[in-house]
Amino acid sequence: MAVDLEKKGHIGVITMNRPEALNALNTPMLQELEKVIAEVEADDEIYVCVLTGAGRSFVAGADIGEMSEYGSVAGKAFSDYGNSVFLKIENMAKPVIAAINGFALGGGCELSMACDIRLASEKARFAQPEVGLGITPGFGGTQRMPRICGVSNAMEMILTAKQIKADEAKAMGLVSAVYPAEELMDKAMELAETIASKAQIAIRQSKRCIRRGMQTDIYTATAYEAEAFGVCCATEDQKGAMKAFMAKENYTFLNK
C-alpha cells in the first residue's frame, strides 16, 4: 500500500508510503488516499487524524513522470481529481494534523494546506515549484496559500518557485510550530490526543464553522456559528461539562 492507516486509540495515523519516489503523488496514490479518507470518516472510533510521510519526505509533489505525458484535457482531469481528494480532507468532519517531516513540494505543500493544522520538522522544506516546470499549482495551491499566508507571500512563493525552510514557513503562517525531527510525531500525537480529549461534537462543529465561514461573508458565517452553538447546547456533554465546571469537578466527555 502506498497510503497506510494505523489506529492508535482515537487517533488515525495516515502515512504517505512511497519513499522510493519521495512519496510523489501519482493517480494510484491519490486513489488510495481517497479510500483511506473515506475509511477514516466512516470509523466512529477515530476522532482526529495525523497525516505524515514515510522516509525523508512528506510528499515531494505530484509525479512528474506521469504529468509529462499530459495534454490539456488529461491535465485538467488530473487537477480536478487531486482537488477533489484534497477537498475531502478539508471537508472531513474530523480534524487533520499534518506532521511535515521533510519535503513538502508542489502537491505535497498543497496536501499539507488541505489539513487543518500544520506542524513541521526542522528538516521540512516547502515550495510551489510549478512555474519552473511550465505549469501552475494544480491541487489548490493558488487558492489555499493566499488564504493561509496572505496574497503577497503566496504570490512570491508561487511566482518565484522558491523553496523555503521550516522557520520561514512558520514566520509566514504556513505552519504553526517547528520541532526537532525526532520530536515531530510525538508532538503531533500529543496535539491530536488533546483534541481527542475534548467534546467531539463541539470539535466538529467548530471545524465546520471555520471552514464554511472562511468561504463567505461575516454575516452568513456568524449565522453558521449560532447554529453550531445551538446544536452543542442540546448535547449531554454540554450539560455535564458545564455542571462539572460550576461544581469545580473534572468531567470526561461522553461524546454524545
To the query of whether residue 122 is one of the catalytic residues in this protein, the response is no
Question: Which is catalytic among the residues 130, 182, 193, 225?
Answer: 130
Question: Which is catalytic among the residues 110, 122, 182, 183?
Answer: 110
Could you give the angle at the alpha carbon of 126 between the alpha carbons of 122 and 131, nearest 5°?
A: 165
Q: Which three cell numbers stand for residue 142?
A: 493558488
Nearest to 194 by CA among 5, 52, 7, 11: 11
How many angstroms separate the most distant Cα atoms in the chain? Answer: 66
Return d(Cα 31, Cα 52) in angstroms, integer: 17
DSSP bridge partners of 111: none
Nearest to 136 by CA among 98, 103, 110, 116: 110
Q: What SS3 string covers 170-234?
A: HHCCCCCEEECHHHHHHHHHHHHHHHHCCCHHHHHHHHHHHHHHCCCCHHHHHHHHHHHHHHHHC
To the query of whether residue 193 is one of the catalytic residues in this protein, the response is no
> Are 70 and 82 spatial neighbours (Cβ–Cβ below 8 Å)?
no
Nearest to 48 by CA among 230, 197, 166, 211: 197
Known catalytic residues?
A: 110, 130
